[in-house]
Amino acid sequence: MKSFKTKNTEGKEVELEFVSAKAEDLMGANKIYNKIFASLLNEGGLLRKRLSDKLREQGLWGDEKQTELERLQKSIIDKTYKLHKGKIKLSKAKEIALDVKKDRAKQSELLVSYNEYDNNTIEGQADNARFNYMVYACTVYSENKKRYFESYDKFLESSDPVTIVAAEKYASEFYSFDPDFEDSLPENQFLKKFNFTDDKLRLINVKGKLVDEDGNLIDEFGNRIDSKGNIVDVFGYKRTPDGGFSDESSPFLDDKGKPVLVDSVEDSA
Q: Is residue 96 part of a domain?
A: no
pLDDT at 2: 80
Residue pLDDT, tens place only, 12-67: 999 999 999 999 999 999 999 999 999 999 999 999 999 989 998 988 888 899 99
pLDDT at 197 over 80: yes
Three-point CA angle 170, 175, 178, nearest 5° = 125
CATH number of the structural domain spanning residue 147: 3.30.2220
Asked whether residue 244 falls in the same domain as residue 147, the answer is: no
Helix (H, G, I), strand (E, B) or coil at 154: helix
d(CA 163, CA 136): 9
How far from 262 is each of 82, 197, 266, CA to CA, in Å? Answer: 65, 51, 6
Asked whether residue 221 falls in the same domain as residue 264, the answer is: yes
In sequence order, what DSSP letters do the residues of 65-101 get, joined into one string?
HHHHHHHHHHHHHHHHHHHHH--S-HHHHHHHHHHHH
Three-point CA angle 86, 90, 92, nearest 5° = 90
As for how many domains the chain has, the answer is 2
**Nearest partner of 126 among 25, 30, 37, judged by Cα:** 37
Q: Is residue 165 part of a domain?
A: yes
Asked whether residue 253 falls in the same domain as residue 221, the answer is: yes
Asked whether residue 168 falls in the same domain as residue 257, the answer is: no
pLDDT at 191: 97
Q: Is residue 228 part of a domain?
A: yes
CB 126 within 8 A of CB 43: no
Q: Is residue 101 part of a domain?
A: no
Q: The whole model's pTM is what?
A: 0.67
Asked whether residue 168 falls in the same domain as residue 218, the answer is: no
Instruction: Tell me which residue range forms the domain holding 146.
Output: 1-45+121-178
Range with the poorest average pLDDT among 88-97, 130-139, 239-248 = 239-248
pLDDT at 268: 53
Q: Is residue 260 part of a domain?
A: yes
**Nearest partner of 250 among 238, 262, 259, 263, judged by Cα:** 259
d(CA 225, CA 95): 23
Q: Is residue 109 part of a domain?
A: no
Share of the chain above pLDDT 90, in %: 77
Asked whether residue 144 falls in the same domain as residue 242, the answer is: no
